[in-house]
Chain A
Amino acid sequence: MNTPMGLLIDITKCVGCGECMRACADANGLPQEEAKQLSAEHYTVLQAYHNDEVFVRRMCMHCVDPTCVSACLVGAFSKTSQGAVLYDADKCIGCRYCMQACPFQVPRYEWSSLIPRVQKCRMCAERVANGGVTACTEACPTGATMFGVRDELIHEGRRRIQEAPEEYVDHIYGLTEAGGTSVMYLSGIPFEELGFPKDLPTEPIPQLSWRVLSQIPKYSVAATVLLMGIHWITARRVEVARFEAEEERLRLQEKIHERHGNNTGKGGESR
C-alpha cells in the first residue's frame, strides 16, 4: 500500500472536545495535559477563535514536497510513500534549520534536553503502514478529522463545498499551499482569520533554494576556468615585463662596456 494518504480536517465540524489531543498523547507516549501551542510534548493542539466557537487543530501539515526534508543537511527528514514526514534523531546534528525553514513553523525542539531531538506529528506512520488510521482520526467523535487517500480527500472536500457553499469558504487549505500538503482543511471562516499562513507560494518551497543550488556545478566549472584563465594571462604579463626589463638591463650593460672598456665595466655591473 503505497498510495499517498492524508487528513482532511473540517473546521466546521470540530466542537473542540480535545479527544484528538488525548488520543495523540496516548499513541505517542506523551504527557496528558492541555496545551494551546505545539511543543516537543504536544504533536497536536486545538486553538480557539471567534469567542471560543471555532476550533482549529494544529499539527504537522506533512507537505507533499516538504521544506524540512529539503532543508536538512544530513537528510534526517524523509517523506514516506504513504505521506508521512518522519524525523530520524540518529542523523540529526541539531542545526535547527528545519525549524527555521518550515512554512508552518511546526517542528519543535527539546530545548531542556542535553540530547535534544526535533519533535512533531508522525501521522502515526506505524499504524498507517499496518492499514490503520491515525489515532486522532479514530478518536474524533464528530468526523471533523478524516483519514484517507489524499486524492479522495480532495474529492470529498470539493463535494462538501459544492453541496453547502454557504457553509464553507470556497477553498481547500493545503491543496496548493507550499506546493500542497497531506493535511488539508475546510473552513467556514476565511483561513487568514484563523492563523493560517497566507500568501504561501503554490510551488514547493524547496524550489526557492534549488533554483540557486542547481547552478553550483555550472558556476564552479565556469569560475574555475575563468580564474585559471585570468591567472594564465596575468602571469604571462608579469613574465613578459620581467623579460623586457632583463633585456633592457643587458642592453645598458653592453653600452657601458663599449664606453668604458673591460676594466671599468665590472664596476658598472654591481650598482
Chain B
Amino acid sequence: MKKTTSGLAVWKILAGSFLLLGLVAAIDRYSRGLGATTNLSDTFPWGLWIGFDILVGVGLAAGGFIVAGTVHILNLERFKPILRPSILTAFLGYLLVIAGLMVDLGRPWAIWHALIYWNPRSVMFEVAWCVMLYTTVLALEFSPVVFERFKLRRAQRIIKSIAIPLVAVGVLLSTLHQSSLGSLFLIIPGRMNPLWYSNILPFLFIISCVAAGLSMIIFESYLSSRVFKKEIELPLLSDISRVIAVVLALYFTVRVQDLISRDALQLVFQPTYQSVLFLGEMLVGVVLPFFLLLSKRMRASKTGLFYSSLFVILGFVAHRINTAITSMEQWPNKVYVPSWQELAITIALVTAGFATFGIMARYFPVFATESPSNEKRKSLRFEQVVFETSPSDSAVPAIGKPE
C-alpha cells in the first residue's frame, strides 16, 4: 500500500509540473503571439496543435460513440461496464480539443462566429458544427453520472427518456466528424505526399479511429485497474480486441489497395524519410498489433492486450501526425519542429486529460457498475459507495463488505 502511494505522489508531482509548464507556455503564447512562440509559419500554418491535439484528440475519443452505440443501439448490454469510462474519455477528449483550439486559433475570441457565419461549402464548417454538437451530446450522455452522484432523480429520468435518440445522434455526428477530419485534407492534393493523400481519406480516418478508439478503452481500463485497484474486465476487453484485429486487417487492406490504385505503392520502397515513417506507422501501428491480437494467449492476458492497444494508439498518432505534418514537408522543402511552447501545451493538455479522468473516476460513479461479479453492488445506495470508502483506499473491498 505504502509503495503505491509514494508512486502516485511522484506521478502527481510530475503531472503538476507538466500543467505548470503548459500554463507558462500558454501565457507566453497569449502575450507574445503565435509567431514568437511557435514554429508555425506561412509555409507551415498548421503544426503539432492541429496534428496532435485536434486530430488525435478527436480520434482517440471514438470509443465513446462505439461503445454507446454497442450498448444502446445494438443492445449488447454486457458492454455496459465500459460505457461510462468510454463516454468520459470521449467527453474529456472533446473538451481538450476545444482547449487546444483556443490556443491554436489566431483569434480565439471570435470562435463563436462559427455559430452565426455559415459556409456549408467548407469542411471546416462541418468540423466546427460536429465539435459543438457532439460535445453537447457527450455532456448529456455523461450527465447521468453527475445526476446519480447528486441524486437528481428527475433529471435522471428525463435523460433516460431521450437516451436512444441521443446516442443515435451521437453516432451520426461522430462518424461525420471523424471522416470530416480526413476530408479537411482533400482540398490540398498537390501539397501532400501521395503516401498519405488519398481521396478516400475520410474513409481511412473512420476505420482507423474505430481501431484507436477501441484500443483506448483497453489502454485506459488497464491503467484504471492499476490505479484504482479494481478488477479488469478481461472477457469484455478480449472481445473488443478481436474487433480491433478485424478493423486493423480491414484498414491495412484498404490502405494498400488505395496505394496500388493510385500507383503510389512503389513510393513505400524508395529510401526516403517519408517512406521510413510510413513503414513505421504501418508495421508498428497496424501489422504488429494485428499479429499480436491473433494469438489467443495475448488476447487473454492483461499485458498482451495493453501492449497491443498501445501499438495501435501509437500507429494512430503517427498516422494523424504524418498526414498533417510529415506529408507536407516535401512541398515547402521545410522541416517543421514544434517549439517548446507547442510541446509544453500539448503535454499539459494530455496530462489534464489523465488527471481529470482520475479525479472523475474517484469521486463520481464512473465505474459504479463495472464488474458482473459485483452484481450486489447495484443494490447498494450510491452514497455508500462514494462516501463510505476513503479515496486512498481501494474501492472494491469496501463495497464487498456488506456481503
Residues of chain A within 8 A of B175, CB atoms compared: 223
Taken residue by residue from 187 to 215, chain A's Cβ proximity to chain B (1 for < 8 Å, 0 otherwise) reads as: 00000000001011100011011101100
Residues 49-103 of A contacting B (Cβ, < 8 Å): 67, 69-76, 91-97, 99-101, 103
Q: Which residues of B contact A73 (CB under 8 A)?
A: 114, 117, 119, 122, 124-125, 127-128
Q: Which residues of A contact B77 (CB under 8 A)?
A: 238
CA distance A112 to B76 in the complex (A): 54
Distance, CA A111 to CA B41, complexed state (A): 7
In the complex, the answer to whether B42 meets A212 with C-beta atoms within 8 Å is no
Asked if B21 is at the interface (CB within 8 A of a chain A CB), the reply is no
Contact pick for A91, options B30, B42, B117, CB 8 Å: B117
B contact patch SS:
helix
Q: How far is the CB of B278 from chain A (nearest CB, A)?
A: 21
Q: Using Cβ atoms and an 8 Å threshold, which residues of chain B touch A97?
A: 122, 124, 184
**A71, B40: Cα distance in complex, Å:** 20
Q: In whole angstroms, how far apart are the Cα atoms of A67 and B117 in the complex?
A: 18
On whether the beta carbons of A95 and B189 are closer than 8 Å, the reply is: no
Instruction: Please name all residues of chain B whose beta carbon is closer than 8 Å to the beta carbon of A115 when the two chains form the complex.
Output: 107
A100 touches B122 (CB 8 A): no
B368 within 8 A of A: no
Let me know if A35 is at the binding interface, CB within 8 A.
Answer: no
Known: A100-B46, A105-B42, A205-B189. 11 other contacts (CB 8 A): A70-B187, A71-B122, A72-B122, A74-B118, A97-B122, A108-B42, A205-B187, A212-B183, A213-B126, A231-B73, A234-B73
| Contact in complex: B105, A95 (CB < 8 Å) | yes
Stretch from B31-39, B304-312, B335-343, B345-353 at the A interface: B31-39
Nearest B residue to A74, CB-CB: B117
A109–B46 Cα gap in the complex (Å)? 12
Confirm or deny: A220 has a beta carbon within 8 angstroms of a beta carbon on chain B: yes
- Knowing A112-B36, A223-B175, A227-B171, say if A95 contacts B120 (CB, 8 Å): no
Q: Given that A71-B187, A200-B190, A208-B189 are contacting pairs, would A93 and B43 also be in contact in the complex, using a CB cutoff of 8 Å?
A: no
Interface size class of B (residues with CB under 8 A): 35 or more
Cβ-based interface call for A114 (8 A): yes
Residues on B with C-beta less than 8 A from A94 are 105-108, 110
The answer to whether A237 touches B110, judged by C-beta atoms less than 8 angstroms apart, is no
Known contacts A74-B119, A213-B121, A234-B75, A111 near B43 by CB under 8 Å = no
- Minimum C-beta distance from B368 to chain A (A): 22
Q: Nearest-CB distance from A75 to chain B (Å)? A: 4
CB distance from B83 to the nearest CB of A (A): 15
- Provide the bound-state CA to CA distance between A231 and B171, in Å: 13
Q: How many residues of chain A have a CB within 8 Å of chain B?
A: 56
B183 near A209 (CB under 8 angstroms)? yes
Closest to A236 in B: B75
B190 touches A93 (CB 8 A): no
A111 touches B187 (CB 8 A): no
Knowing A94-B108, A96-B46, A220-B176 touch, does A199 contact B124 (C-beta < 8 A)? no
* Of B31, B106, B123, B190, the contact of A209 (CB 8 Å cutoff): B123
Query: Which of chain B's residues have a CB closer than 8 A to the CB of A234?
Result: 73-76
Shortest Cβ distance from A158 into chain B, in angstroms? 26
Specify which of B40, B117, B121, B176 is in contact with A111 (CB 8 Å cutoff).
B40
* Contact, CB under 8 Å: A209 / B186: yes
Q: Are B105 and A75 interface neighbours, CB within 8 A? A: no
Kindly supply a per-residue 1/0 record for chain B positions 78-121, scoring 1 wherever the CB is within 8 Å of any chain A CB and 0 otherwise: 00000000000000000000000000111110110110011111
Within 8 A of A (CB), among B2-50: 30-31, 33-36, 40-43, 45-46
